[in-house]
Amino acid sequence: MLLPKALQEGDTVGIIAPASPPEMKCLQDALPFFKNLGLNVKLGKHIREVYGYLAGTDEKRLEDFHDMMVDESIKAIIFARGGYGTGRIVADINYDLVRNNPKIIWGYSDITYLHTAIRQKTGLVTFHGPMVASDIADPDFDVLTASSFQQLFSPTTLQYNGDASCLHVLVEGESAGTLVGGNLSLLVNTLGTEFEINTEGKILLIEDIDEPPYRVDALLNQLKLAGKLASTAGIVVGDFANAKPKKEPSLTLDEIFNHYLGDLTCPVMSGFKIGHCFPHFAVPLGVRAILNTKEKTFTVMPGVQAK
């Protein structure tokens, strides 16, 4: 495990788009948020690029990532948005560069592919959290979601309990392990590649958006058949936004979760506000986490080291 250093007032964060292009007005509207945190902002050279559904060509998006990694003035990289595209560049990332220049890396959704690749190639802890143009600029961006950025300024142990949302126990128990995961469809996309998600003995976080129940069923079935569910130490089910059936009749999400997760031997809880939702509880990936269904708590160790 490689912990990045905490931020301090006056530091500069870099903003790039490694997947789909951000709405630039939304991005600009979100920048005062960082000023209010006492941070400076530097935008990636190619952040305004548009190449179909991508924020510029693979080469330009990769260049922005590498530039931010080697820039000693940049203390954190926070992504503008997700969408699609990080899977296209992970094979060409210079992971020695990442390992030798550890810094905060923050985002979610399509960024899940990048989180998984970086953690498994370098051991660097990264953060599953709300992004600039797609979240901070959203009118529903709330105080609780905003407060999640405070964990970047000092080592902070996070605890999620029933105060934030109603939690549901699918399988009772208590376990600890390294927290991994993120967007369910992106986790499935890693299977069969050199970046295949390792869930053995890990606490697995899953969340998604706009996937109807039958698709969630198919994605969990693929993880099951790949041996990724039975090997976990625990499963945290985050938010599945807009998971509406395209046709009736349909199984409910609860029925699907119970089918695939309800007979596991590790603790499983659902209902966490982690994912494409507000509030959005941001967490570091790659650190030790504890899932306790009796107390209905999810405890996550700090994702940064003191500067």
pLDDT-based confidence at residue 151 (cuts at 50, 70, 90)? very high
pLDDT-based confidence at residue 307 (cuts at 50, 70, 90)? confident
Q: Are residues 17 and 145 in the same domain?
A: yes
pLDDT over 90 (residue 87): yes
Q: Are residues 165 and 287 in the same domain?
A: yes
So what's the pLDDT on residue 298?
A: 98
How far apart CA 239 and CA 271 sit, in angstroms, is 7
Q: Return the CATH number at 131.
A: 3.40.50.10740
Mean pLDDT, rounded, for 99-122? 98
Give pLDDT tens digits for 268-281. 999 999 999 999 99
So what's the pLDDT on residue 126?
A: 98
Q: Tell me, yes or no, whether 263 lies in a domain.
A: yes
So what's the pLDDT on residue 162?
A: 82
Percent of the chain beyond pLDDT 70?
100
So what's the pLDDT on residue 285?
A: 98
Instruction: Tell me if residue 109 is catalytic.
Output: yes
> Which is the catalytic residue, given 46, 115, 128, 276?
276
Mean pLDDT, rounded, for 183-192? 98
CA angle 24, 89, 138 (to 5 degrees): 30
So what's the pLDDT on residue 11?
A: 98
So what's the pLDDT on residue 169?
A: 98
Instruction: Tell me if residue 46 is catalytic.
Output: no
Q: What is the pTM of this model?
A: 0.97
Mean pLDDT, rounded, for 145-158? 98
Mean pLDDT, rounded, for 169-187? 98
* Phi, psi angles (nearest 5°) of residue 23: -75, 115
> Which is the catalytic residue, given 109, 134, 175, 270?
109
Q: Are residues 25 and 125 in the same domain?
A: yes
Mean pLDDT, rounded, for 115-133? 98
pLDDT over 90 (residue 266): yes
Q: Are residues 251 and 234 in the same domain?
A: yes
Q: Are residues 203 and 145 in the same domain?
A: no
Q: What is the domain count for the chain?
A: 2
Buried b / exposed e over 43-64, threshold 16 CB at 10 Å, is bbebbebeeeebbbeeebbbbb
Q: Return the CATH number at 173.
A: 3.50.30.60
So what's the pLDDT on residue 89?
A: 98
Q: Do residues 182 and 207 lie in contact, with contact meaning Cβ atoms separated by under 8 Å? A: yes
Mean pLDDT, rounded, for 119-138? 98
pLDDT over 90 (residue 240): yes
Q: Tell me, yes or no, whether 5 lies in a domain.
A: no
Q: Are residues 98 and 201 in the same domain?
A: no
Q: Tell me, yes or no, whether 55 lies in a domain.
A: yes
Instruction: Tell me if residue 207 is catalytic.
Output: yes
Last residue of a domain, one of 87, 117, 152: 152
Q: What is the mean pLDDT of the chain?
A: 97
Which stretches of 37-78 are DSSP H helices? 58-70
* Domain span at 203: 158-300
Q: Do residues 103 and 69 lie in contact, with contact meaning Cβ atoms separated by under 8 Å? A: yes
> Which is the catalytic residue, given 128, 175, 207, 270?
207
pLDDT over 90 (residue 163): no
pLDDT over 90 (residue 164): no
Give pLDDT tens digits for 31-82. 999 999 999 999 999 999 999 999 999 999 999 999 999 999 999 999 999 9
Q: Are residues 47 and 148 in the same domain?
A: yes
Give pLDDT tens digits for 191-201. 999 999 999 99
Cis peptide before 284 (omega within 30 of 0): no
